[in-house]
Amino acid sequence: MYFFPTSSPLSHACSWISHSHIKRIEAAPHQRTTLIFKNGYTLTLDVSYGSMMNQVQRTAQYRFLLDKRIRHLWKYGGDQIAEPFV
């Protein structure tokens, strides 16, 4: 599972969101964002839509790169020390 923070993890206002459970993201009034999850639960956070989308896109990119690396290891074995320059 891949989670991302909505603000600094040191902040008491930080929430951790599961990337794979998000169904939709909507801009809300007053620089807030509403998350609609696959189970129907709705959550509105004091995070701008732009910041939220940035975190979602970063997490998606990380998932893609990690999946690519894991697939490469499965294909060529896990006994390599250095990462390939693919």
Q: How confident is the model at residue 37 (pLDDT cuts 50, 70, 90)?
A: very high
Rounded distance, CA 86 to CA 68, Å? 10
Please calculate the CA angle 44-22-66 and round it to the nearest 5 degrees. Answer: 130
What pLDDT score was predicted for residue 20? Answer: 94
In DSSP terms, 5 is beta-bridged to 16
What pLDDT score was predicted for residue 45? Answer: 94
Alpha helices in the chain (DSSP H): 49-76
Mapped onto helix, strand or coil, the DSSP state of residue 69 is helix
Contact 85, 72 (CB under 8 A): no
Rounded distance, CA 27 to CA 39, Å? 20
pLDDT at 86 over 60: no
Q: How confident is the model at residue 27 (pLDDT cuts 50, 70, 90)?
A: very high
Single pTM value for the model: 0.77
What pLDDT score was predicted for residue 74? Answer: 80
- What is the per-residue pLDDT across 43-83, written as a single tens digit (0 to 9) for each? 999 999 999 999 999 999 999 999 998 888 887 765 655 66
